[in-house]
Amino acid sequence: MRALNTSLTQSLDATAESVAIARQLPEEALQILALALAQDDMDLGEFLKSERSRPFVQALQRVSIITSQNANRLLAGGLLSDKGRELLVPALYASIVPDADLLDAASTELRNALARSAPYWLAASAYGGPGTSAVRWSRQSATTSPIEARAFRASGRGAGS
């Protein structure tokens, strides 16, 4: 039972950390990622492992998401390490649903759908022009509402659950 509680606590902490990082993600980094994914020649994981991700990593360094204190853990040869990708990918998902409670309440099915769709939200933002990230836009639009409503119902807090 203790291992289960530890795992759940660590999971909650990781979700909160992802949301905190998502709030710090600069528009520049999201645009770099969006333009790379819009080329449709690699998925998010492939991009983050590739040399083409260097400008994305540099944008994260400029806003101190990656610092001299955590670079040894998050970077390998100037690119994101496995630990770096483990930290940043959930933060990208949290950019779409920036609420740790909602992310925690979401069903596995919903989280998997979010994980599959996040790169497309980012790629779509490349077509909105400067300063119009689909991710930023979705935070204030009806597109988040079905995600929020379903997570809320799944948590047992909403009507009809």
Whether residue 63 lies inside any domain: the answer is yes
Mean pLDDT of 122-139: 52
Q: Does residue 161 sit within a domain?
A: no
Give the tens place of pLDDT for each residue, 98-120.
Answer: 788 887 888 878 876 776 676 67
The confidence band for 125, taking pLDDT boundaries of 50, 70 and 90, is low
* Residue 159 lies inside a defined structural domain of this protein: no
Predicted TM-score (pTM) of this structure: 0.66
| 160 inside domain | no
**Residue 38 in domain:** yes
Q: What is the pLDDT of residues 64-90, one digit of tens each?
A: 999 999 999 999 999 999 999 999 988
Q: Which domain holds residue 54?
A: 2-154
Q: Is residue 45 part of a domain?
A: yes
Using CA atoms, how far residue 151 sits from 84, 89, 135, 146, in Å, is: 27, 20, 19, 8
Q: Compare 96 and 161 and report the one with higher pLDDT.
A: 96
Structural domain includes residue 92: yes
pLDDT tens-digit map of 36-51 = 877 867 888 889 999 9
pLDDT of 135 > 60? The answer is no
Would residue 72 count as lying in a domain? yes
The domain total for the chain is 1
pLDDT, residue 1, reads 37
pLDDT at 154: 60
* pLDDT reading at 121 higher than 60: yes
